[in-house]
Structure 1
Amino acid sequence: MAAMRTLGRSELSVSPIGLGGNVFGWTADEATSHRIMDAYIDGGGNLIDTADGYSHWAEGHTGGESESVIGSWLRHRKRRDDVVIATKVSTKPGREGLGVDNIHAAIDESLARLGTDHVDLYYAHFDDPDTPLEETVAAFEDVRRAGKTRYVALSNYTPDRVEEWCAIAAANDFAPPVALQPHYNLVHRQDVEGPGNRGEVAATHGLGLVPYFSLASGFLTGKYRPDTVSAAAPAASARGGWVEDYLRPECFAVVDVLREIADAHAVAPAAVALAWLRERPGVVAPLASARTLDQLGPILDALDLALSAEESAALTRASDLV
């Protein structure tokens, strides 16, 4: 069983790989989603991440579908105490932005869909330049003090805005955020690494990193090959259009190293990519989603897959060239 990790300066103990809920109710139907969550928890995972906006982009969807599926699983399985539930606010149609009234309405609606009286982690999903940050920070503190979330977190915030949020919280004796969710993976490191970037500000303020797009929208699974796809025509899938920037020789070179290491461990390339990211400075729990039980396998393998220092260094060298 994988060793749990403490998320930032919180008291939350989470598994080293989190399960992304963006596919629940979208490319994974309710029954399949329930089986995936069963297997993830039974395999040693405990962090389930969603958002009120998932999956409003799908035809006929309005957002909240993922939360509703997770809620039905919680009702049927009675396993609320076995999981750490994270959700987010600002993207659901009709609940856009981070205005005070919107936050208070959104958390109540999320809790109703999830069928719980609190979430463990409540994220500001995207910064809202149209709302004074002081108002947003105060609203999140109100939600926390009301017991509707245990902790506050940020997603997609720039380093400067993270600094501002933390300064406002400190000046008003509010609880600071405990986690930051950035875009981060072997072929997309620029948002997190380097002086003044998200990794540095997270370390300064004790925020645990919970990366999304950990598998680069499926590119790091190895399913894309230079002889079968091109930037003009990526393989057809629900996320096909999101990988176009990765269909370059230097990115495929990273996948070649992933495959070599994966073969040595008898696991899938995705497991290796997640294990590398899991051990990057400041990272607590990369997120990965699975629309089938087969796709969940590498996520479970990554919970405790141990790469050697040489293997991690080889991946980093290949990634440096991206």
Structure 2
Amino acid sequence: MKYRVIGSNPATRREVSVLSLGSMLFGTVTDEATSFAILDRFVEAGGTFIDTSNNYAFWVNGTQGGESEELLGRWIRSRGIGDEITIATKLGARPNAPATGFSRDVEGLSAKTIRESAERSRERLGIERIHLLYAHIQDEKTPLEETVTGFAEVVADGVAGLLGASNHWAWRVEAARNLAKAAGLPGYEVLQHHHSYLRQRTDIPSLRSPDGNQGLVSADLLSYVRANPSLAQVAYSPLLSGAYVRDDKPLGPGFEHAGTPTRLQAVREVAEETGTSVNQVVLSWLIGGDIPILPLVGASSVEQLDDSLAAVDLDLTSEQRAKLDSVN
């Protein structure tokens, strides 16, 4: 395994594995025994970065979420896991009532919600401090100053350590960071967005925004991270839910543009050259790029996880990277 330090404050920064394990469906779609086996294998391989959220996975059984955090809590207790494993969770997108699909009626990012939801997540996880706490989605109804102050308060009280933002426009991240800096408060240091080798259109309106999908890594966001090297970028769904390697997993309308076929051809050629899977090439490309990305992968079996873990040891040559990067 390879590792990277995230965060700049010695009191809260963490050394994490370059591959993060997502536990979104643990405790619902993925049963407890299988979930525990995947988690055990991840730690055995040197993995130290596990991701969840307080709303995972409400849509499966029509709840408000919490199943993933609760399962992680049982695993942590049963295995005697301590501070050596970094646990990241999110708040802000938990539905206010049981739901089976997308809802605009979510908890948001008020100071009161941040306090109460962070405490509940900590209780479900059974840990002393949430190592990394994300604002899951943007909340444009709550003043940004209140959100910044609310997150700073849970850090000051020891409920959370590092702070992050997921599914946020770059300008909004910058605005929040500037407010925190001006007030001498901790700000966002980790970003989490959807990112992969294939490029998805960012101009298609999303369920949450008429301006496009703020959850996607865009050229603007990458430029922002490049200009702020202290920021860490986590990429969720880097393997596109299996679409790279499974014919029964369509890419979707966001990938319907001229660049998709040529980039697919390039990544398949590199996979053939290296004798590895396309998925492994994608993960290696993210990990070793000029902007180092921390891929966040899901797994429904130990075998799937092992395929992703093998990508950590795949070092693409400069020629292979040039081939991948030269395609529009």
TM-score range, shorter chain: 0.7 to 0.9
Counterpart check, 1:280 vs 2:289: yes
Q: Is the 8 A contact 1:162 1:201 kept in 2?
A: no
The aligned runs of 1:21-100 (5 Å cut-off) are 21-94=23-96, 96-100=107-111
Counterpart check, 1:170 vs 2:170: no
What does residue 152 of structure 1 align with? 163
In the alignment, the residues of structure 1 paired with residue 263 and residue 180 of structure 2 have an alpha-carbon distance, to the nearest angstrom, of 40
* 1:307 partner letter: L
* 1:46 partner letter: T
Deviation, 1:182, is: 1.6
In the alignment, the residues of structure 1 paired with residue 253 and residue 84 of structure 2 have an alpha-carbon distance, to the nearest angstrom, of 38
Counterpart check, 1:216 vs 2:218: no
Q: Is the 8 A contact 2:286 2:293 kept in 1?
A: no
Residues 22/244 of structure 1: CA separation in 2 closer, same or farther (3 Å cut): farther
Counterpart check, 1:9 vs 2:8: yes
- The normalised TM-score by structure 1 is 0.87
Three-state SS of the structure 1 residue aligned to 2:146 is: helix
Counterpart check, 1:134 vs 2:145: yes
What does residue 263 of structure 1 align with? 272
Three-state SS of the structure 2 residue aligned to 1:210 is: strand
Residues 166/204 of structure 1: CA separation in 2 closer, same or farther (3 Å cut): farther
Gaps of 5+ in 1: 225-234
In the alignment, the residues of structure 2 paired with residue 121 and residue 147 of structure 1 have an alpha-carbon distance, to the nearest angstrom, of 12
Gaps of 5+ in 2: 97-105, 203-215
- Output one character per residue of 1:60-114: Cα deviation in whole Å (capped at 9) or x when no partner: 3331111111111101111223311100001112262001111111011101111
In the alignment, the residues of structure 2 paired with residue 36 and residue 284 of structure 1 have an alpha-carbon distance, to the nearest angstrom, of 22
Three-state SS of the structure 2 residue aligned to 1:48 is: strand
Residues 90/193 of structure 1: CA separation in 2 closer, same or farther (3 Å cut): closer
Deviation, 1:157, is: 1.2
Residues 246/65 of structure 1: CA separation in 2 closer, same or farther (3 Å cut): same
Three-state SS of the structure 2 residue aligned to 1:150 is: strand
Q: Is the 8 A contact 2:56 2:65 kept in 1?
A: yes
Structure 2 residue aligned with 1:101, among 112, 120, 134? 112
Task: Count how many residue pairs are aligned between Structure 1 and Structure 2.
Answer: 301
Residues 154/248 of structure 1: CA separation in 2 closer, same or farther (3 Å cut): same
- Output one character per residue of 1:134-162: Cα deviation in whole Å (capped at 9) or x when no partner: 00000000000111111111111111111
In the alignment, the residues of structure 1 paired with residue 257 and residue 45 of structure 2 have an alpha-carbon distance, to the nearest angstrom, of 35
Deviation, 1:278, is: 1.3
The percent of aligned pairs where both chains have the same amino acid is 33
What does residue 315 of structure 2 align with? 306
- Larger deviation, residues 144-153 vs 57-66: 57-66
Residues 241/267 of structure 1: CA separation in 2 closer, same or farther (3 Å cut): closer
* 1:158 partner letter: W
* 1:208 partner letter: A
What does residue 202 of structure 1 align with? 225
Three-state SS of the structure 2 residue aligned to 1:167 is: helix
- The normalised TM-score by structure 2 is 0.85
What does residue 228 of structure 1 align with? none
Q: Is the 8 A contact 2:297 2:308 kept in 1?
A: yes
Q: Is the 8 A contact 1:17 1:302 kept in 2?
A: no
